[in-house]
């Protein structure tokens, strides 16, 4: 097995370049100390390689944190409400705009049935819509009246799409004693837009 370092390795090359800036010099080396010098050199190179990798990891972490912050801003402060529903119709995720539209604190909306916020006369319409979304891959749309936590109402357009999801998201509204089948690992993304109610013909 060839233990010679790979000179084409850019990480190794950068570490070697840094080592040459602070070389280790032995004064009056004795027989056998040349090997010690080589070992010290290799250890120093390896140490710098680890330092370079740590720097890259820290930079990657900062980049990921910045991306997460941008995503949170875009998601939470979007002009429309965004929700993720389990296949049982339970709210798994909701942005701040969605919570404002429903008139409730976001944390108190998690694991509640979305149908609770559908006006009574439109619930059948919602059940038909949601059932259709669960059966098809295409985005579907409907308009109905939603009822806030305080009882006030507004007319909304719902854009719904079935998506594959993790086990935790798909089962968030499911009883713990019920198994989740692999072929049912999906959730529903829902966008709520507050629109003017249609005017009834006189």
What does the pLDDT average to over 72-87? 90
Evaluate if residue 174 carries a pLDDT over 60. Answer: no
User: Binning pLDDT at 50, 70 and 90, where does residue 50 land?
Assistant: confident
User: Binning pLDDT at 50, 70 and 90, where does residue 132 land?
Assistant: very high
Q: Which long-range contacts (CB under 8 A, 24 or more apart) does 167-173 make?
A: 169/84, 169/86, 169/92, 169/93, 170/86, 170/87, 171/86, 172/86, 172/90, 172/92, 172/110, 172/111, 173/85, 173/86, 173/87, 173/88, 173/89, 173/90, 173/91, 173/92, 173/111, 173/113
pTM above 0.75, yes or no: no
Most confident region among 13-17, 22-26, 56-60, 175-179 by mean pLDDT? 56-60
* pLDDT recorded at residue 28: 61
Residue 190 neighbours by CB distance under 10 Å: 21
Tell me which CATH code domain 79-194 carries.
3.30.450.20
% of the chain beyond a pLDDT of 70: 76
Residue 108 neighbours by CB distance under 10 Å: 11
């Amino acid at each position: 097995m060839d233990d010679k370092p790979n000179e084409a390795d850019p990480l190794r090359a950068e570490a070697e370049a840094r080592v040459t800036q602070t070389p280790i010099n032995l004064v009056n080396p004795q027989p056998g100390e040349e090997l010690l010098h080589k070992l010290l050199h290799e250890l120093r190179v390896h140490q710098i390689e680890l330092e370079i990798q740590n720097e890259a990891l820290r930079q990657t972490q900062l980049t990921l944190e910045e991306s997460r912050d941008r995503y949170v801003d875009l998601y939470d402060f979007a002009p429309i409400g965004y929700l993720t529903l389990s296949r049982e119709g339970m709210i798994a995720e909701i942005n701040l705009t969605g919570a404002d539209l429903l008139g409730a604190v976001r944390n108190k909306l998690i694991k509640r049935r979305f149908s609770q916020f559908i006006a009574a006369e439109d619930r059948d319409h919602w059940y038909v819509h949601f059932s259709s979304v669960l059966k098809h891959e295409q985005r579907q749309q409907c308009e109905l009246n939603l009822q806030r936590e305080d009882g006030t109402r507004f007319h909304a357009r719902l854009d719904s799409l079935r998506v594959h999801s993790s086990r935790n998201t798909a089962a968030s509204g499911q009883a713990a004693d019920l198994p989740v089948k692999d072929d049912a690992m999906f959730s529903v993304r829902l966008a709520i837009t507050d629109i003017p109610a249609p005017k009834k013909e006189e």
